[in-house]
Amino acid sequence: MGTSWHDSPSSVPPPNIFRVTEYEYDSEETSAPRRQQGLSLAARFTLSLGLLTLAGAIVAGFLFLQGAEKISREAASDARMELAKTTSSVLAQRHALGFGPFPKANGQIHSAENGASVGFATGAKPLGEGSGLFKIYQLLPGEDLPVVSLFAPLEETADAADRMLVLVILILGGLVLATVIFGAYTARRVSEPLRSMIDDVLAISRGRFDRRIHVEGAASEVTFLARAMDRMVHDLVEGQETQRKLNKRQREAESMRELRRNLQPMTVIPPEGFGAETLLVEARGAGSGDFVDAMTDDVGACTLVVGSTGTRGMPGALLMAMTRAYLRSAVLQGFSPGPACVSTNESLHRDLAEGLYASAIVAKLDPLRKTVDLVSSGHKAPAIRWDEEQGQFRKIQPNGIALGFDEGPVYQRSLETVNIPMNAGDALFLFSPGVFECTNVKGTKLGEKGVVQLAKFAIEHDLKTMEKQLMKFLGGPPSTDLAFAILRDVQRGEDHE
């Protein structure tokens, strides 16, 4: 029925597990910078514009050369034709006027092959002093050969220059037009994804957080921006969900704290010669639903209860309140621990959904017989008894399944009541199963030895002193609610004094 530890609470010094040392840890977050894939928007635009300009320049140069060559040929042909026409006209008029061959003019002489030369002069008046001015080209083949005179208008026509100007304007205009078209196409390619992004962002701003940013075929910067915005929306949704869950947990934690404050154990006056204490160490956050209760019936018998629930949060708090209420009702009606647990089990099995359960360890003191009836309903933490006469601790774990699992028959057959004598100086220590799992900042669990040390502190002093040692070990509030109760014969304290 029990296991012994042969250590006197007054002879063993405080354990080392309660010495808390500070620890350090390094937390470093590293993130590599994101690199864009492919050409950037500026690089793509510059490259495209450069390629377009090069292609346009090649085409424009080819067209210009072709046009200039054609205009030059046509201009030369027209000039020759004009020279012939003017010469024919001048010669016909000189003949009509009775003039002879035109004399050799004074002007520039250009040498030709085979001893020939060409003379050139401007301002010639082949039709007399009152006639117009002409350009004259004189062919000088040699001394014994006649001089041939060719006449051309003094002022050249501007047809060739005009055509060349038109050609240049057309080529440059085409190049500018191509650049404008390319710029408009590029601007459209860039602006269409941006307009799509604007529509998506507006939809997201109206609460449609399932909307994605669509930028098919966009430049790398725009694609990167869209992905960053998608990630931002995802993080925003996650943040809101996290905040919602956090607010829910905070509301549950506050509701549970308020519930625990309102479900305090009864103020009991234990029978003469005995002492009884209870303690609930509240956890951070919502807690686990562990509870402790103390009560006395009509005949003055003192009963202590430490319980735990199989679920956490608000369901655990409600289950804790129900279990506590059913147990208290049965105990106050005068039931001993066994029948009280049977009655509570029937009520919980009737009211709870499948899979929900609670555990409890119940100790009832009979002051006349100086005994304690101990019952455990699936409570995974044994009672620890200090035997003053033997000078040792003993753990006591009665059989029993959890409350709410079975309708009745199996539960009743599994339930065991252990009768424990309470001699002078003896004590009984009850606690939550979560005490075994208490872990300090270095990762050291309290374990069985630590629980025994807690029992020593509680027996030698009181539960408040024990709580200080527990907080020193943990370095702060526990992660789960921890319930404690102690029943002892105070005659030990009087004898010790």
Which secondary structure element, helix H or strand E, spans residue 337, and what is its range? helix 337-351
CA pair distance 320, 291, nearest whole angstrom: 7
**Chain position carrying tokens 């009211």:** 351
What residue has token string 């057959």?
A: 413
Res 10: pLDDT: 45
Task: Locate the domains of the chain by residue range.
Answer: 2-18+257-496, 41-99+158-218, 101-155
Cβ count near 346 (within 10 Å): 18
Instruction: Give the pLDDT score at 33.
Output: 44
State how far the Cα of 107 lies from the Cα of 129, in Å rounded to an integer.
18
Distance CA 174, CA 164 (A): 15
The predicted structure's pLDDT at residue 34: 47
Residue 227 has a pLDDT of 77
Distance between CA atoms of 15 and 7, rounded to whole angstroms? 12
Residue 395: the pLDDT is 93
Tens digits of pLDDT across the chain (497 residues) = 555 554 544 444 444 444 433 333 344 343 344 444 555 666 666 777 778 778 878 887 887 788 778 878 877 787 778 788 888 888 888 777 777 777 777 778 888 887 788 887 777 777 777 677 788 887 877 777 788 888 788 776 667 677 777 878 888 888 788 888 877 777 777 677 777 777 778 877 777 777 777 666 666 667 777 777 778 877 888 888 888 887 877 777 676 666 666 666 767 788 888 999 999 998 876 666 788 999 887 777 899 999 998 877 777 778 888 899 999 999 988 899 999 999 999 999 998 888 788 999 999 999 889 999 999 999 999 999 999 999 999 999 999 999 988 888 899 999 999 999 999 999 999 999 999 999 998 889 999 999 999 999 999 999 999 999 999 999 988 988 899 999 988 874 444 33
> How is residue 232 written in tokens?
């931002």
Nearest-5° Cα angle at 436, 444 to 23? 20
Are 133 and 156 in contact, with CB atoms under 8 Å apart? Answer: no
**Six-digit token string for 27:** 């937390």
Neighbours of 84 (CB within 10 A): 13
User: The domain 2-18+257-496 is classified under which CATH number: 3.60.40.10, 3.40.50.1240, 3.40.50.970, 3.40.50.720?
Assistant: 3.60.40.10
